[in-house]
Amino acid sequence: MAQDVFGIAGTTQGPFSIEEAVAEGGFGVVYRALHGAFRAPVALKCLKIPTIPEDLRAGFLERFREEAEMLFRLSATISEVVRPLHYDVITLDSGLIVPFIALEWLEGRTLWSLIDQRATDGLPPLGYLEAARLLTPVARALEIAHNFPGPQGAICVVHRDIKPANIFLAEVHGTEYVKILDFGIARARDAASVMAGEMTQADTATPLAFTPRYGAPEQWAPKRFGTTGPWTDVWGLALAFLETIAGRVVIDGDAVAIMGTVLDEKRRPTPRNEGIAVPDALEAVFRRALAVDPRERPGSAGAFWDEVEQALGTGPRLSVPTGHRSGITRAPAIEAPQGDSRRSSGSMRAVSVPPASLDVASTMLADSPAEGGGRISRFPEPPAPSVRARDAAAIDVDWGASGPSAPQRRSSTSMPAVRLDPPASPPSSRVSSVPKPRVSAVPREPLPREPLPSVSNEPAPDVRSMLGGPVVLAGAGVLIRVLDQIAGWLWLGGERVGLGPLRLSYVAAILIGAGALLALARLLRHLTR
């Protein structure tokens, strides 16, 4: 059982009778509680935050409300996102405030629990086809979040901590549904840390803003690789896929060792490097998705999963995400912020939580010792040419800046969004309920990408053309042999037709043999193509 860090088990907080702590992580504690009005169990996610000065609490609580609002909008459109029911703040006797959000109670287990249980029971890991089927709803849910629809354009909501422990396999009346945890809370925790001044101090006790063993290179070294974005979720999803078929943790050790492994360009954590046999095309997809340079990865979870399905030959989609709402073309009203809130390209520590100039809207549920979250982020102009432009909407949150040069804050009554330029290219042939936005960015030279192993487009040979000649030769031989037999019986007293030493039966045998050899040669040639 998890530790009751806040000492609230057995108490009643608003409509919730808190029963017990069920999970604890670096950023929060999850309690099981009973909703007094609904008479139903709920999960209370209580956030671990530092002490916030009294004059800054109102601003923090508004940020927390906005995060809960975004989680509600995501779950209303994407059924794979866990549904929020309520949010509030508990004030302890010590004066410490504990923000919490009530979530739907889920019965089932995480993907990591499934991986670990199979290993414990001596069962082999899931095959890559079964793992792909299981993760398809996650990939397609992230695809929608990366281009989340709004009346003034699409916004990009990035998770930033996709891992097996944040993928929940819920059981509902005997049917399994996939849910994504950790959308909607870490942003508030990061905001509280900024307000408390923790992020400006070299405090080694402060947990990282992501789970180390699933952190992407740009999370470890943002100065070198730039900001996080949809490509960060591509890394997390690929690593979760890899661990599912490996049946174990792929990148492990202390923080320094993990960072060294993640940033090692010579050896990537791909299936074949981990001793897993996969097709050439799938290995190439993993190599790109787990590239050190974010520019070499697919630009979104949807693009990555399209490549996975193409490599597996499973068609445009392995399956439709369960429970997706049809006909979704817009989200609840989102008010655009006034003015430009693009943050400056300030410095950022490689193994610390985000800096004071924060463009984070992140999420997490306590399921592992170190937790991270997701973000809604404006993709800023790269501080160096190494950071590439991405197709995504622009949103920026700056909670650390102040003074006359600080960016203008958004309205406190609604979530921000940005109007996007209309797409210049014709619509994709693949049907999607989410409009594909476009953002102007600094032009750059695209890096060459290693092509997928090609598949020959030569049509399969026609059976008639391949075997027609051999059949004709063999048939002629058989016909000659029959005629020779009949002639011998009727007119030659059992002798065979011949011209000197050459007998007609020899000709028939040669034709039959030639036909058989020609058919065998053509068949072998076809099989070795």
Distances (CA, A) of 163 to 136, 237, 283, 370: 14, 7, 20, 12
pLDDT category at 121 given cuts 50, 70, 90 is very high
Question: Would the pLDDT of 494 be above 60?
Answer: yes
pLDDT at 355: 34
What contacts 107, CB < 8 A, 6 or more positions away? 170, 171, 172
Read off the pLDDT of each residue in 170-181 and give the average, rounded to a whole number: 91
pLDDT at 459: 52
- CATH of span 1-105: 3.30.200.20
Question: Would the pLDDT of 375 be above 50?
Answer: no
Please name the fold of domain 107-200+208-315: Transferase(Phosphotransferase); domain 1 (1.10.510)
pLDDT at 117: 95
Among 66-70, 281-285, 399-403, 521-525, the range of highest mean pLDDT: 281-285
Cα–Cα distance, 329 to 288 (Å, whole number): 31
CATH 3.30.200.20 intervals, the chain: 1-105
Question: Would the pLDDT of 360 be above 60?
Answer: no
pLDDT at 25: 74
Cα–Cα distance, 81 to 98 (Å, whole number): 23
Q: Which helix (H) or strand (E) holds 42?
A: strand 40-47
For Cα atoms 458, 460, 461, give the angle at the middle one, nearest 5 degrees: 110
Question: What's the token pair of residue 21?
Answer: 């702590």
| 336 vs 271: which has the higher pLDDT | 271
Question: Would the pLDDT of 45 be above 60?
Answer: yes
Mean pLDDT (the chain) is 73
pLDDT at 380: 39
pLDDT tens per residue, range 317-337: 544 444 443 333 333 333 333
C-alpha torsion sign, points 64, 70, 71, 76: positive
Cα–Cα distance, 100 to 33 (Å, whole number): 12
Question: Would the pLDDT of 405 be above 50?
Answer: no
pLDDT at 139: 97
CATH 1.10.510.10 intervals, the chain: 107-200+208-315
pLDDT tens per residue, range 213-223: 999 999 999 99
Cβ burial of 93 (10 Å; 0-12, 13-18, 19+) is: exposed
pLDDT category at 426 given cuts 50, 70, 90 is very low
DSSP state of 512: H
pLDDT tens per residue, range 8-20: 999 999 999 999 9
Task: Print the SS3 string covering 171-196.
Answer: EECCEEEEEECCCCCHHHHHHHHHHH
Question: What's the token pair of residue 456?
Answer: 């020959």
Read off the pLDDT of each residue in 399-412 and give the average, rounded to a whole number: 37
